[in-house]
Amino acid sequence: MTFRTSVRWLAAAASLAWPLVASASEDKPQYGGTLNIGTVYVALPPVTWNPADWSWKFQHDTGLMYEQLFVGDLSKSERRGGRHPFRADAWLPSDAIRGELAERWAWKDKPLRVEIRLRKGVKFPDKPGVMKSRELVAQDVVDSFERLNASPRKNPGYFDHVEKVEASDRYTVVFTMNAYSADWDFRFGWGFFSGIVPREVVEKGASDWRNANGSGPFVLADYLHGSAVTYSRNPIYWDSERIAGQDFKLPFVDRIVYRTIRDESTFLAALRTGKLDVLEWVRAGAVGELKRNAPALQFKRGLETAGTFLAMRTDTKPFDDIRVRRALNMAIDKKEIVESFYNGDAELFAYPMDPSYVGYYEPLDQMPKAVRELFEYDPGKARALLAEAGYPKGFNFKVQVCSCVPGHLDLLALVAAYLEKVGVGIEIQPMEFGPFMSVMTTRTHAPGFLLRSGHSNPMASLRKNFLTGQPYNPSQYSDPEFDRRIEQLFLEPDEGKRQQLVRLMTRDIVEKAPYVWLPVQYLYTAWWPWVRNYGGELRAGAERPGPIHARIWIDREQKRRMGF
C-alpha cells in the first residue's frame, strides 16, 4: 500500500463518524464537479445511439440527453419517504409515473385515443454542424414514433395497438388506438426506445454519437469506445429539483462520465480508490472486502433485476419434449447453487416474475406441485424422465454463453457438472456480446443458450420471453393458446384482473419449462459519502438511470477532506 493510498484509507475510515454531524453543505445542493459512475452495465459499452436499431440498452446510454413523454416520479422513492426503490429494469408502478415532456394527458372515446399536451419552452440546445437551438414540439414526438414504427428491426406486434399518431397543434400529440393496450405508456412513453430525437439529428445521422442532441439535462460531449462516455451540462435545461421546499435548477454537476471497465477486479479497485464515485453493480461476494478496505462506502442491497436461465430451443430435438426440459431442471441442485455459488445471496425462484411485482408475483410455496418439483434436486427422476423420452443414455448439446457477464462461465461449468451426472454433456461456446446477441435475434443460436435477461415488467416479461416470434424468446417457445392469452392480457383494462391472469400464465409457463430456471442473485450498489441526493436508485424508466444521475451533486469539500 502506497503512502497516498494509506492516507486515503485512513481518511475514509475516519469519515464513518461524519454522518452523525451533517456538514453545512449536506442539505443545500452544490453545483459543479464531475461524477464518475460505473453503471449496472459497467463492463458493456454503448450498443447504439439510434433508437431505430431497437436496442434494449438505448435509453441507458442516451437517457441523460434524450427525454421521454413520461418518467419515474423520484419524489416517491424510499429515500424520500415513499415506497418505491426505483431499481426495476423496466417497471414503473402506476402511482409512480409523472410527465417529463408531457405536461398532462387524457383518454378520449370515439375514437379511442390519448391526447398528450407537451410542456412549452423545452428546447434542444445548439449543436454546431447538426442543428440550431429550437423548441421541442409535437411533430418531434410524431417523427420519433414513426421512425421506430417503420424500422425493419421493430419488435413484432409492438405498436399494433396504435392506428396513427398526429400533432393536432404545436404542443398536442394524439395517439389514436385501434384497441386498448394495458402498457401503452410503456411502449412509447417511458420504454426502451422512447427517446425523442429531433429530425436534424436523424438527417445528419442518428447512429453517429457526434450528432446526438436531445432536450435532456446533459449533452453528449465525448465517447471513447471501451473506455468512457462523457456528458456535459446542458445550460438551457428546463427542469428543477425541489429540496427542502426550494427549487434548484438541474443538473447539479458539470460532467457525468459513464466508465466502461470490463474486468471486475479493475472496476472494484476504481471504486475503492475513489476513481468511481458510484458503482451500481457489485456482487455480494465482493462486498466484504470493500467494507474492510473502504469502510466509508455506502451500500444498497437489492435483488438483481434480471433472471439467469439456460434456454432450451423447443423447436429442436430433444428439447421439443417437455419431459427432457423438466428432467434438466430436476437434474440441477438449485438450492445448492444458492448456498454455494451465491453464498446464500440469491433467491431460488424470482423469474420470470420479480418478487417486487406486488399482486403479480406468486411465491414458490404457493405454486402447484408440478412447478415446485422443478426446484427440487431429484437426479433419479431426471434420469427416469430422460429414459421415458427415449434418451436412457443421455445426449450432448452445445450451449452458447456471453463472456461479458461476470460469473456466467463459472455458473455454466457448475450446471454442466450436474447434468453430467444424468448423462447429459454440454459443449460450452463463449461469445462476445455483439455476436452473442446477433445469433439470438436472428434465431441462429445453439440448442442451449445461457442468458441474463431483464424482467422488464410483469406483462412484458411474459410477452418478450414466450410469445411466438419475439427476438428475446431464445427457447423459440411457441404455443397458439399462450399467444392468445397474452393478447387478452394486454386488452384487459382492470389491473386486478391482469394480476390474476399473469399469476396463472406464470404457473403454466414455469411448468412447461422452456428454460432451466436458475436462482436470481442479490446485487449491491455502492457509493461514497460525498455523493448527495442519492440512495441507490437505478432506473426511472426502462433501463434509464439518467434522471437519477442528473439529480446527484458532489460534496467536493468532503471528498477533499477524505483525501480524494
Domains, in order of start, for the chain: 3-297+528-561 (3.40.190.10), 306-521 (3.10.105.10)
Determine how many CB atoms are found less than 10 A away from the CB of residue 513: 25
pLDDT > 90: what percent of the chain?
91
- pLDDT level of residue 314 (50, 70, 90 thresholds): very high
Residue 128 has pLDDT above 90, yes or no: yes
Cα(312)–Cα(473) distance, rounded to whole angstroms? 10
- Grid cell at residue 525: 450498489
Please give the pLDDT value at position 215. 98
Tell me: cis bond preceding 352? Omega within 30 of 0 counts: yes
Summarize pLDDT for 439-478 with one digit per residue, the tens: 999 999 999 999 999 998 999 999 999 999 999 999 999 9
Residue 1 has pLDDT above 90, yes or no: no
Instruction: Tell me what the mean pLDDT of segment 276-296 comes to.
Output: 95
Rg (the chain; Cα; Å): 24
Please give the pLDDT value at position 14. 34
Give exposure, 101-136, as e/b (b: 16+ Cβ within 10 Å): bbeebeeeeeeebbebbbbeebebbebeebbeeeeb
Q: Which of 24-38, 114-128, 244-258, 316-330 has the lowest mean pLDDT?
A: 24-38
Contact yes or no for 522/284 (Cβ under 8 A): yes
- Grid cell at residue 447: 440448442
Contact yes or no for 465/453 (Cβ under 8 A): yes
Contact yes or no for 32/553 (Cβ under 8 A): no
Cα(214)–Cα(201) distance, rounded to whole angstroms? 9
Cα(293)–Cα(272) distance, rounded to whole angstroms? 7
Q: Identify the three-state secondary structure at position 174.
A: strand
- Select from 305, 57, 99, 91 the least CA-distant residue to 186: 91
Arithmetic mean of pLDDT over the chain: 93
Please give the pLDDT value at position 142. 98
What's the DSSP call for residue 29? -
Cα(93)–Cα(454) distance, rounded to whole angstroms? 16
Q: Which residue type sits at 316?
A: T
Cα(308)–Cα(326) distance, rounded to whole angstroms? 17
Summarize pLDDT for 56-112 with one digit per residue, the tens: 999 999 999 999 999 999 999 999 999 899 999 999 988 999 999 999 999 999 999
Please give the pLDDT value at position 65. 98
Please give the pLDDT value at position 13. 37
Instruction: Tell me what the mean pLDDT of segment 335-360 comes to.
Output: 94
Beta strands in 211-291 (DSSP E): 218-224, 228-233, 240-243, 246-249, 255-259, 278-283
- pLDDT level of residue 16 (50, 70, 90 thresholds): very low
Please give the pLDDT value at position 160. 93
Please give the pLDDT value at position 20. 32
Residue 360 has pLDDT above 80, yes or no: yes
Please give the pLDDT value at position 356. 87
Instruction: Tell me what the mean pLDDT of segment 482-506 comes to.
Output: 96
What's the DSSP call for residue 210? G
- pLDDT level of residue 156 (50, 70, 90 thresholds): confident
Please give the pLDDT value at position 358. 84
Q: What is the 3-state secondary structure (H, E, C) of 456-503?
A: CCHHHHHHHHHCCCCCCCCCCCCCHHHHHHHHHHHHCCCHHHHHHHHH
Cα(359)–Cα(500) distance, rounded to whole angstroms? 8
Q: Which residue type sits at 490?
A: F
